[in-house]
Amino acid sequence: MDMAKDQDISLSRDEVGDPQVTLANDHAAEVAEALAVAQPAPATRPAAPQVSGSSRPHESARAQVAGAASYVDDIPELKGTLHAAPILSTVAHGRLLDVDTAAALAMPGVRGVVLARDIPGDRLLGNFSHDEPVLAEDTVQHIGQVIGLVVADTVMQARRAARKVISQIEPLPALLTVDDALEAQTYVLPPVFVRRGDADAALAAAAHTLRGTLQVGGQEHFYLEGQVAYAVPQEQGQWLVYSSTQHPAEVQHWVAHALGIASHAVRVECRRMGGGFGGKETQAGHMAVWAAVAARKLQKPVKLRLDRDDDFLITGKRHPFAYDYAVGFDDTGRIAGLKLRMAVNCGFSADLSGPVADRAVFHVDNAYFLAHVEIASYRCKTHTQSNTAFRGFGGPQGMIVTEAIMGDIARHLGLDPLAVRRRNLYGVGERDTTHYRMKVEDNILAPLLSKLELTAKYQQRREAISAWNRSSPVIQRGIALTPVKFGISFTATLFNQAGALVHVYTDGSCQVNHGGTEMGQGLNTKVCQIVADELGIAFEQVLATASDTGKVPNASATAASAGTDLNARAAQYAARTVRDNLAQFVAGLDGCGAGAVRFQGGEVTTPAATRPFTEVVKLAYANRIQLWSDGFYRTPKIHYDKNTLTGRPFFYFAYGAACTEVAIDTLTGESRVLKVDILHDVGNSINPAIDIGQIEGGFVQGMGWLTTEQLVWNDQGLLTTHAPSTYKIPTAGDIPAHFRIDLWPEANREDNVFGSKAVGEPPLMLAISVYEALRDAVAAARPGVPVRLQAPATAENVLKALGRLAA
């Protein structure tokens, strides 16, 4: 990915253009027949004209381009506002003996220091595991753990003073890797085991077996807007907290818990975030709690905004995983048995590691039926940042090892990896139950892969790449086509609920508020589209307002890709109640049934008359008809036993596939993604432009995770890649010119809002095709040698896989 642009080493787009090999006629006919039989007809849409189903601009797009969209740090500060900066541990594990704040307190503008003893409520955060201190008190457990806060008149005064605090820490032995934790048997949560069939017997009877290991690194969220909170004291012991958070209700709970007050005394508001990706699901709560504790001590509004280096050092990342596996299979590549150990680097506390690790277990199968499988999941405690949610929430870590196994099986047998993947796919009416006992009822994997194979010209390109590699001693190319099957719902069943409020005003305009949060993904836009259709009015007449715990209580996090599924449905139900009120009123005027009243195109029509929507609203108000309502939705059908990890944790699956072509320089280890073709299943798209944007962004973020984004800790436990200078996310130059995305033409088979499917997380896992294509290129460079490529596939790791550097 970092290949120097001035190296003309046969990686230019002219030289790696479309392969010119004709698809064999028999194979073309086979694929066409599969498509004709299995591909569903294009889904029918509700009667036009509609707002939903069209590519509307993001509701904040104009404001964001103009610099007029307000984020937490843009909110005008009240007179007397102070600024906080964190005091960080410089030791990975140790006893905190003393904190000397004298030098800091003597600095200009400093108003005070906040330590654990200043917390009026519980000194542990109010999360499920109850294992993480608000501020370190007796022990520090990672470099960057927050010991206290310096509060000053300006942000720079606070940051400079925080560096003057001297913490006396007695070092203790630190566990810095999962191997250390496994040897010490130190876990944040007990290990989990899931079994189906008899994996040992299947391995013993298999015609072929392979054993291997794999390490996959973590990932920094690198949201454009860093972590920030602004805590403002209100009258009579009440609080207003502005928080850049994916979960305002949890921030409310944590702040109340730390201050020792009831939740009703805390109101949390979030208009928008500048990105979240899971990093603001729980971690934003820390900022809010710290700001609120400081504000309570000093009786002033306090803002806490982390700089990027501190953000890296304090907050958790995507969980790194280490795998050890044994797989048995037949001559065709079909898996007979799999034993897999997954060691999860959770960091020093549980945070969301339990459900992340559980989802990884759920997604080990990805798109494949595993008849005999045994999975052991170890949730390892290390003295590093407490890892947390990240787009995919364990799903990517579950899938990647199985995709790597598929590639290894194919190379062992001398088969096309796509043929091996096809051989193992879930079936329809057979081989259709997951290892956690959920039946796959909406399977479109086979036709989806067949269509992408045809449209991406996979077979032609594979032959052309083989020919290229035989004649190119330095530049080797690879290709992979990999599927995705991703379960949609929170694995914690209680979070699968949502509420919304819809207000219609007497001028016909409408305001909607819901429990979800906007982080750039277009949730508010989609909600407004759904509400506009329900009321039969223009999109421009609907306005979504800031997420606010004072309006919709106890809302779930905007996560698990379920933001639209939950909140748009709740808003739809609220709007439907208002519409029904109006329909009954108009039916009374015109002497018809309420079912005969139609709302469309800004008009209300009955068999007797047509009236503008605005006129109907004014008449209804004059007749004291309720013009607002709440809506509530809870996801149906889901259930599972959290002790055995069996049941139906997901409402439905989202599917997709990506075909990626890459090239590697075997002398430098540098790589480049040349072409990407994606076919993704979003059901009936509420907003195709937004959905395609999510697919593009998710894929590129996944590509970064697996290629350039490497987190490095030194032997003291310091994260050394804590700035853009050392931590490399993809740039515009890394995006291939050939980047094609198509949407699968079928509605969600479950009764979901507008027939849509979730799109936030599933596309990230399409980028596993990049990793598998890189492994394909490495295999081409070393025929017959097993591929041992760790992720991310940096230039260094590629060279190790090529045998040019010691592993």
Rounded Cα distance between 641 and 649, Å, is: 9
- The region that residue 277 occupies, defined by phi over 0 for left and psi between -120 and 50 for alpha, beta otherwise, is left
Bond preceding residue 792 cis, omega within 30 of 0 = yes
Rounded Cα distance between 354 and 378, Å, is: 10
Rounded Cα distance between 727 and 730, Å, is: 10
Q: What element of type H or E holds 327?
A: strand 321-329
Query: What is the b/e burial string over 92-122, where b = at least 16 CB atoms within 10 angstroms of the residue's CB?
Result: bbbebeebebeebeebeebbbbbbbebbebe
Is 761 noted as a catalytic residue in this protein?
Answer: yes
The answer to whether 625 touches 420, Cβ cutoff 8 Å, is: no
The answer to whether 188 touches 131, Cβ cutoff 8 Å, is: yes
Rounded Cα distance between 637 and 72, Å, is: 38
H runs (alpha helix) in 591-663: 613-622
Rounded Cα distance between 232 and 229, Å, is: 10
Q: How large is the C-alpha radius of gyration of the chain?
A: 28
Which pair of structure tokens corresponds to residue 212? 């291997």
Bond preceding residue 783 cis, omega within 30 of 0 = no
Neighbours of 690 (CB within 10 A): 23
Kind of pairing between the strands at 146-152 and 82-88: antiparallel
Q: What element of type H or E holds 466?
A: helix 458-471
The residues, ordered by sequence, that sit 6+ positions from 70 with a Cβ below 8 Å of its Cβ are 271, 272
Rounded Cα distance between 134 and 397, Å, is: 29
The answer to whether 379 touches 354, Cβ cutoff 8 Å, is: yes
* Sheet of strand 510-514, all strands in order from the earlier edge strand to the far edge: 542-544, 510-514, 497-504, 628-634
DSSP string of 528-584, one letter each residue: HHHHHHHHT--GGGEEE--EETTTSTTPPPS-TT-HHHHHHHHHHHHHHHHHHHHHH
DSSP 8-state secondary structure symbol assigned to residue 41: P
Neighbours of 242 (CB within 10 A): 25
Rounded Cα distance between 122 and 114, Å, is: 15
Q: Which of 59, 518, 761, 772 is catalytic?
A: 761
Rounded Cα distance between 677 and 698, Å, is: 14
Catalytic residues: 761
